[in-house]
Structure 1
């Protein structure tokens, strides 16, 4: 059974253990990939918060090494690993859950609507979980004397700002990650569909696991690159708010400038996010494959060997 009807039946048959596995896979894949790219994230945050001092990737890298030593490039690693691990668990696990739920509720809507509402719903909760970790991480990376990491950063931030300090950037974080997540999941799903129908021209189940993971990598890179451009303005706002470069969202926008919101740190963000999202999808789908599950993404129609739709 193919098409929309086949998808609805398969969604109804998914047990809750499936969503739990997706959450664990998302947690492991997101946590490890964000840990691996911590040095690039340190450069990005410092370029956003101190744009005059660090006006290029090279100057930021060499200045940090000279003034703070190699260890500066790994500041905030714990916030990256645990914070984005928690976010990844919620993002992927809840996305699969909401996609299953909305596929049965929004039966008269097209797939893009289901991808949109599923990713948005999941990201709301994912960012509530991420926000305290992000608040500490950004200050640890951009203010060397603030704290060494999560263990001393959490109590210090709570003592100085209370609970509000952990969620100062929640709205801008939603502003950054909601569009990113919506674009990322939608681009991934549509890219997988396009690649199987137009490039591979074979049904997913007829492809080897290596071929399926290859499709995952290509779709993941497209999803990460496009999502990073869409979410870059809010990413600059988050960094400025957490480091108190301005007291309100409007003041941040005025101080940075509309053009700079889109362009500041964009090259390094694309370098950072594109490969990171690719690795996340690869690790996530590898975990699913090792657990006996198919890779992520849906194909709208079955495909015969000759390329004709079934």
Structure 2
């Protein structure tokens, strides 16, 4: 006989705290590193304008600061603040609820329960965050005329419809799988090498987490470049880019225009944005309560 789930018995207070903590962490993570993320977007966008082509991160920062002002690097930050809070709250809330319903909290560690909860949490949070990420990148690109998040949402929707906010969603989910796999496998490997005795060591977890974030970010940069092309296609003056319908189209265009090197664009700033967030994330998971 199947035992009924006692929804009233779930620890709602703990879930609320996890959701709030996740929301605050998400907002802080994205906001603090936002200028670096803006540079990453600029470097990844395929542009026909020489003024919008940057060979490295230093050049991008110098040119953007001197010609557009450093404040330009913050344009669109409101979009990630609006989206990151709810998306991270949904992630942690979905993860905890799904794990509880699958018995992951009462029957000891369960790989199936944990993995399933993580997958559902990712699908839910990315579905919420994707439109905000599209708006963010539309506001970050060179020559963007969008000044407000609401104005960008409205303009993109009127010109391209709802699909513009989700054309990159399958690519985003595809990127999450290898990112997570590389992140956790690297983290465990580095942690065991640095702390074979397995004693509690915050520095070990932070260091291993930071390195794992860097490796995972580097490995998945090609998918991130494809995602950027899809999310900024409506701002491009290139007909082929504007007609891109998915990851295969994006990958083909990048390969034809820039070859293998094109898939590494923006790798340095992408690594820099992931190192601190993953370091803090890994430490928070293992910190004693």
TM-score under structure 1 length normalisation: 0.73
8 A contact 2:254–2:263 mirrored in 1: no
Partners of 2:151 and 2:98 lie apart in 1 by 36
After superposition, what is the alpha-carbon deviation per residue over 1:116-148, rounded to whole angstroms, capped at 9, x for unaligned?
Answer: 333222100010010110110011001433311
Q: CA RMSD in A?
A: 3.3
> Which residue in 1 is equivalent to 2:3?
none
Aligned to 1:253: 251
Hey, what does 1:304 align to over in structure 2?
none
Number of equivalenced pairs: 265
Moved more, 46-55 or 233-242: 46-55
Match of 1:298 in 2: none
Preserved CA contact (<8 Å) 2:91 2:121: yes
Give the corresponding residue for 2:71: 71
Q: Residues 178 and 89 from structure 1, CA distance in 2 versus in 1: closer, same or farther, beyond 3 angstroms?
A: farther
Q: C-alpha separation between the residues in 2 aligned to 1:215 and 1:146?
A: 45
Against the structure 1 CA distance between its residues 268 and 145, is the aligned structure 2 distance closer, same or farther, given a 3 Å change threshold?
closer
Equivalent position of 1:35 in the other structure: 31
Which piece of structure 1 moves more, 135-144 or 124-133?
Answer: 135-144
For 2:196, which of 184, 195, 198 is the aligned residue? 198
Q: C-alpha displacement at 1:185, in angstroms?
A: 5.6
CA change 1:106–1:162 in 2 (3 A) is farther
Cα distance between partner residues in 1 of 2:157 and 2:208:
40
Q: In the TM superposition, what is the alpha-carbon distance from 1:79 to its structure 2 partner?
A: 1.7
Q: Distance in 1 between matches of 2:44 and 2:253?
A: 12
Q: Which SS does the other structure have where 1:146 is aligned?
A: coil
- How many Å apart are 1:197 and its aligned residue? 7.5
- The answer to whether residue 223 in structure 2 is matched with residue 227 in structure 1 is no
2:204 and 2:141 map into 1 onto residues whose CA distance is 37
Is 1:20–2:16 an aligned residue pair? Answer: yes
Work out whether residues 138 and 144 of structure 2, in 8 Å CA contact, stay in contact via their aligned partners in 1.
Answer: no
273-282 vs 238-247, which moves further:
273-282
- What runs of 5+ residues in structure 1 fail to find an aligned partner? 1-12, 202-206, 296-310
CA apart distance, 1:106: 12
Alpha-carbon separation, structure 2, partners of 1:99 and 1:222? 28
Whether the aligned pair in 2 keeps the contact of 1:131 and 1:167 (CA below 8 Å) is: yes
Tell me, in whole angstroms, the C-alpha distance in 2 between the residues paired with 1:261 and 1:92. 34
Taking a change above 3 Å as real, the CA distance of residues 281 and 270 of structure 1, as seen in their structure-2 partners, is same
* Counterpart in the other structure of 1:99: 99
CA contact (8 A) 1:123 1:181 kept: no
Query: Any idea what the Cα deviations from partners look like across 1:71-104, whole Å, max 9, x if unmatched?
Result: 1111111122222222222233323333344454
Local SS of the residue matching 1:198: coil
CA deviation after TM superposition for structure 1 residue 108, in Å: 11
Q: Against the structure 1 CA distance between its residues 38 and 275, is the aligned structure 2 distance closer, same or farther, given a 3 Å change threshold? A: same
Residues 133-144 of structure 1 mapped to structure 2, 5 A cutoff: 133-144=132-143
Residue 186 of structure 1: how far off its partner (Å): 6.5
Deviation at 1:69, TM superposition (A): 1.1
Contact 1:173 1:238 in 2 (8 A): yes
Q: Structure 2: any 5+ residue segments left out of the alignment?
A: 1-8
What's 1:177 paired with? 176
